[in-house]
Amino acid sequence: MLRYIRVKWPSAFKKQAPVDEQMPQSFAHWWVYSRLSGGVPFEYPTIEYWSSTSLDWQDSRTGADIIAMFKTWLDLLFIDITSFEDEHHREGVPHLYNIDGQAHIYYVKNAKQKRASRRLTVKYIVQQGMGIFQERGFTEGLEWWTGECKLIKSL
């Protein structure tokens, strides 16, 4: 649907849909999600996936709060990567774990599971942040996120 709209009405991606207390989104993305939901309130999959983690982390679950959580995690990882050469999981620093084929981020030690490297954790968090902006069609936000992540991705 979005490809068709991009060809027929590219201006729909430049217009912002009205959203109360949420991150901006393109009119085209809002319209497609509204149509597909059949009038039932809809959730964006990436935001929905991270909302419970955000609720645990900072007692909030909006898209902007999830991005703030990701940004904080990237800052913690930046400090950890630049301060320590080892891959030990220090308490409070997020790490990517693969549990039953699913990716999970833990910021407390989980000795029972094998963790990924800090750089893979960074890559995963950056991708998840990009997914939030992309599923909402928020191009300015995606540009900002890409710029914010440039330094940490270079390590």
How far apart are the C-alpha atoms of 7 and 29, rounded to whole Å?
A: 14
Q: Which two tokens stand for residue 33?
A: 């999600």
SS3 145: helix
Q: What is the pLDDT of residue 18?
A: 67
Phi, psi at 89, each rounded to 5°: -90, 110
What are the start-end ranges of the E strands in the chain? 95-99, 102-106
- pLDDT at res. 107: 78
| Residue 129 confidence (pLDDT) | 96
Assessment of whether the complete model's pTM goes beyond 0.75: yes
Q: Over its length of 155 residues, how does the chain's per-residue pLDDT go in tens digits?
A: 878 887 888 787 778 876 666 777 888 877 787 777 776 767 788 988 999 888 887 777 788 899 999 999 999 999 999 999 999 889 889 999 888 778 888 877 766 778 889 999 999 999 999 999 998 888 888 999 999 999 998 88
What are the extents of the domains in the chain?
45-154
DSSP 65-93: HHHHHHHHHHHHHHHHHHH-SS----TTS
The answer to whether the beta carbons of residues 28 and 37 sit under 8 Å apart is no
| pLDDT at site 3 | 82
Q: At what angle do helices 45-58 and 118-136 cross, to 10 degrees?
A: 120
